[in-house]
Structure 1
Amino acid sequence: MEYVQERVTTLHALTDHRPDAPTGRAAVVVPMTEREYGTLAAERVLTALETVAPARVIVPLRAPAERVAPFVRWLDGFDVDVETLWCGGPRLSDLLRDHGLDGSRGKGRDVWLGLGRALGSEYVVVHDADTKTYSPAFVDRLLFPLARGHEFSKGYYARVEDGSLYGRLFRLFFRPLVRAIADDAEGDEEVVAYLDAFRYALAGEFAATSDLVSRLRLQRGWGLEVGTLGEAFEHAGFADSAQVDLGRYEHDHRSVDGPTGLADMSRAVGAATLRAVENAGVSVAYDTLASRYREAAADLIRGYETDAAFNGLAFDREDERAQVETYADALAPPGPDTRLPAWRDAPISPADVAEAASTDIADVTDSATAAPAAERATAEDVRRRRNGHRTPEDTAPDTAPGDET
């Protein structure tokens, strides 16, 4: 346990205290995909939000048409004001295309749509729905520094699960990449110091004032988290940023390889990181970046190995080194800027989004004249679990794949 301050205000969970925070003036954005339907992790998050009582909960949903109606019915089973925002409906897709906002779809685009709808609240909180250790205190902790005058706050936590160190993309890619950039950067290096100040820069949990949210340009996909940090540096800087300890945090892991693995994610994270520093006026020496990254990663691996041994954790040095070599392939100039516009500059309004999405949902809901028995059972399971009853799913493994950053 420690209480060291970084250049951004750093709030530590030194006790189990749940600080007072303006939850009733906040909207909570919880992006979901069809894999979250009926899972224990998502149910835990939504049940906890019932006790938080935010002004609104907005769920940007990425799912095929046939899954939308049962998903909406499931969300309606919770005692919280949920606005489901189907991100793939035909009218919403047409609206985005007609205004030049179509393109690749991913978590970042979904969150961007949700943030637009959240702007009616004073504060906005964003977090994922696959957290196995979710606590309602997370929302209070993220909001607390905003009530004290900060504009942006980000969560951090240690990824220690199953007797091993996780958080591999952060530990083995992002952190050494930032150090490699700093070793030979030219220009205003404050942005590099800002990125390095966050203890878990790839955490998906953050909160911000609505004014700041309206200024953010978001990455469309996996570069969302670090891209948001780059925008926060521009609009909030060190003085108005904070990071808060969220304590114990577990969610599912991704493999390194495969079409949605950490190797693919590293390319998006790398591009977002390099774009953030270049946009802030830093010149990156790309000809030596890979070698400097490998050196920085090797130094960190030695530290991780010692730390793991100190805590009696398993550690596979060769596997960590192999991951570094895989991630090194992601080091290249960021390419075209495909970020979505800040909402204050967008050619559409959040009301336009709401109208299109609600009509899309109404169409698919009306076409599903009656919920199949299995879907009705899922809604009943929500109510039964809340009353302390166990269901077959309570003992079933949660096998839905999750982010591991």
Structure 2
Amino acid sequence: MGSDKIWEEVLKEAKNHISEQEVNTWLKPIKVGELRGDFIQLIAPNRLYKNWFEEKYLNVVKKIFNETLSIEAQTIQVVTKSSTKQKKHTAQTVSSSVTIDVYTTNLNKQYTFDNFVVGNSNNFAHAACMAVADGYFHTYNPLFIYGGVGLGKTHLMHAVGNRLLEKFPKLRVLYISSENFTNEMISALKSKKMDEFREKYRKVDVLLFDDVQFLAGKQRSTEEFFYTFNSLYDSQKQIILTSDKTPAEIPEMEERLTTRFAWGLIADIQPPSVEEKTAILMKRAELMNIDLNEKVALFIAENLKSDNVRELIGALIRLSAYSSFNGEPITIELAKKTLDRFLIKKDKIITFDTILKVVTEYFNVKLSELKSKKRTKSIAYPRQIAMYLMREKLNCSLSEIGEIFGGRDHSTVLHSINSIEKKLKKDKELQETIKILEKSLYN
């Protein structure tokens, strides 16, 4: 029986001991390298598979060889494809046979899963990151996380890297922002060290690439990243990307890259709810030994202008510092005084121009386009939302709103408003959008 047939029998029997998904994910990519006496060599695609196989499945496979297939397997050596080209050492069972050079991960050790607050706004992205950190590399590759600034994308990415290194200290994990990637590439071009640059990125086991949208429009950086992505993906290395938009919505990004970004799993992070922001404040206060009661945390969560988690923590630090410097306990009154310019001004007068400004900035459209006759979705949708807000916040007549938007008749305006009201009942993303816009009106 050939080695391929033998491994097929191992896979078939393994399904009686572990789940079929685990067999397909972790055992199927393994190949038999050598069968020599009581020595068996197995070849894993890369270090991720090697380390995970040795930790989780080596004993199961050894038992199948010995008991089910009656193939004596005193020693099973697991190597990677790259190491098979090197001179073979004396056969022995090893927990890890690959030597990793000292390198910089760029990981922030403070970003962990333990201090990440999970809620409805981020639970899907969190679950996907946990799965990758637990070893489901092949299943979610690439993992693409998108959402607004300061919502926790970078935190989750670092948490994956930190968790993986806890489990597999010899993995090559590298975090890099698109800006630093571009800067390093420019430096390598100037110093004629592109081979070293490419080797650095293409030999990692896990690449954590932050703010990939900033590669758009940078032809040379995009091209270099395209080939790096292909090299890692073809070698079954894990790639995690973050962006402020979905792959299809990144302007000026090459289609050959956006299609690759969508090969794996796309997970979003929405702005946190008031309850989630309160929980974030309480959790961070606990970690920082800040005496914060829930009523004050709730007040900040409800009234802070921004949904950005970083700004939320910044407000907490500012409040704590003021309390410490002046010897005052943290109360709602102190929060009002200390954070005044960061809080929503609920007595602010809202006008047509206020709504138009907020909507055009949020959707990145021109005011002239909003008032034009264009009916493309990218223009019509923001226009409908602006009409809805004018009706809700200013109680304007349909004809008044129609005049603002180039003399549209009242039936067109009514249809737009009704369309938004209908979608609001079921569309959670639209609900969050309206909430953000309403808050921005008072900034």
The alignment's TM-score, normalised by the length of structure 1, stands at 0.23
The alignment's TM-score, normalised by the length of structure 2, stands at 0.22
Larger Rg, first or second structure (1 or 2): 2
